Amino acid sequence: MAQTRRTDDLSILNAIAEELNRTVDVGEALDRTLALVTELLRLSTGWIWLLDPDTDRFYKAAAHNLPPYLQDPVRMAGSWCTCTEEFRDGDLAAKNIDVIECSRLKPAVEKNLTDLTQGLRFHASIPLHFQDKPLGIMNLTGPSWRRLTKDELRLLSMIGYQIGITVERARLAEESARLARAEERTRIAREIHDTLAQGLTAIALQIEAALQRLEGPAVEARERLGRALDIARDNLEDARRSVLALRSSPPARGPLGEALTALARGFTSETGVRVRVRRSGNGVLPATFEDELFRIASESLANVRKHARATEVVMTLQVRLRDVRVTVTDNGRGFQADPAPGNAAGQGILGMRERARLIGGDLRIDSAPGKGTTVTVSAKLPEAGSRA
Ligand SMILES: Nc1ncnc2c1ncn2[C@@H]1O[C@H](COP(=O)(O)OP(=O)(O)O)[C@@H](O)[C@H]1O
Ligand SMILES: [Mg+2]
């Protein structure tokens, strides 16, 4: 008997490891894992909170079969609740997986809104860690609450451990992309300093010396050398400014893909609205492209928050050989977008168009009342050799 259970447990852990490894998209991996865990343990509902490493706030990273009451994004913003609070206080230890009365559901439970809660009231919370580092919480519950057995809880904490590894691995990949970029900037700064700036300094010195030795009526030569000296000094000034700029402005956001992912997490944490980020291609974009595309995406999300009343957002970044495209799609209430650029748009949309133009691209808004909204910006990339 015990033997078969162990084999069962192992095959469950195996299935979950496979699910977690199937995609690099953590959100997707967690969604699938939740579905699998609830099915295997014959539960009905689950959701995962993760701590956003940038803001240290919770955001909803995955959800399966939420009751209608919790499907309302407002109720799933990363605000305080019993389980996140216990987790923060460190009371939610791995051994102490406990049944918690859900403070998010409580208002609806008290009003007896069973349609909205589907009878849910309690959940089990499994803390997610990587080594000593707290990462988040997995909450699980069944239709009519039953206490999970000791074996189930033990299995769940092992699953929690697997999830912790997956989340941490994705974070490390993100971090190393940021670091690689910081390193690249330092390398370029050093190169400008070591080669260009030193070369220009030497040229300027030579010209200066030559000028001092020019005697007699060599007016023309003097004039030319004088001009050369001015140019060398100008360029030297430019090189110094570039070095300074590269060194003093740290790559705060990291490469665009990572920056968009972080932006999405922050948005979810504040609004409770899931943002799925899909990235394809991994070419390097010029810095101005990254800046403008990031700002456009961020303004689009600001509009989703302010106007859309959406429950789902998808953000895509496609980098191809010759062009790049970013889209932000929401399933909100939509609006009558004017096809004529510049017409009837607010400052936000005008600003987005302006930014798209700055990188030689354009911005499209597809929207209609009741149909959600898609903002698309696409731009041709400069030839590989001439990229800034
Ligand atoms: N995602 C969206 N969903 C619904 N309506 C939107 C969305 N984005 C923009 N809008 C509509 O377009 C208008 C113009 O947007 P914008 O230029 O950003 O100005 P603002 O946000 O300051 O109103 C908004 O007032 C809103 O009515
Ligand atoms: Mg706006």
For atom 13 of ligand 1, which residue has the closest CA? Answer: 346
CA distance 80 to 71: 17
263 C-alpha to center of ligand 1: Å?
Answer: 19
pLDDT value, residue 1: 47
Distance 361 CA to ligand 1 centre (A): 21
pLDDT of residue 247: 65
Residue of 275, 303, 349, 364 to mutate, ligand 1, most atoms within 8 A of C-beta: 303
354-385 burial by CB neighbour count: b if 16+ within 10 A, else e?
ebbeebebebebebeeeebbbbbbbbebbeee
pLDDT of residue 105: 84
Q: Which ligand is closest to the CA of 345, given by its number?
A: 1
- pLDDT at position 252 is 57
SS3 293: helix
The pLDDT of residue 2: 56
Nearest ligand to the C-alpha atom of residue 351: 1
Q: Where are the beta strands (DSSP E) in 15-121?
A: 45-51, 58-64, 98-101
| pLDDT value of position 206 | 81
Q: Which helix (H) or strand (E) holds 133?
A: strand 133-141
Cα of 265 vs centre of ligand 1, distance in Å, is 22
Could you say which residues of the chain have pLDDT below 70? Answer: 1-7, 91-99, 144-146, 216-217, 245, 247-253, 338-345, 384-388
Cα 270 to ligand 2 centroid, rounded to whole Å = 17
Q: What is the pLDDT of residue 361?
A: 96
Name every protein residue with a CB atom under 6 angstroms from any ligand 1 atom. 303-304, 306-308, 330, 332-335, 345-349, 373
Residue with CA nearest ligand 1 atom 8:
303
Ligand 1, from 295, 296, 335, 371: best to mutate by most atoms within 8 Å of Cβ? 335
Q: How far is the CA of 300 from the centre of ligand 1 (A)?
A: 9
Ligand 1 center from residue 73 Cα (angstroms):
20
User: Do 277 and 263 contact (CB within 8 A), yes or no?
Assistant: no
User: Around 323, how many Cα atoms within 13 Å sit in the side-chain half-sphere?
Assistant: 10
| Ligand 1 mutation target, pool 300, 307, 354, 373, most atoms within 8 A of CB | 307
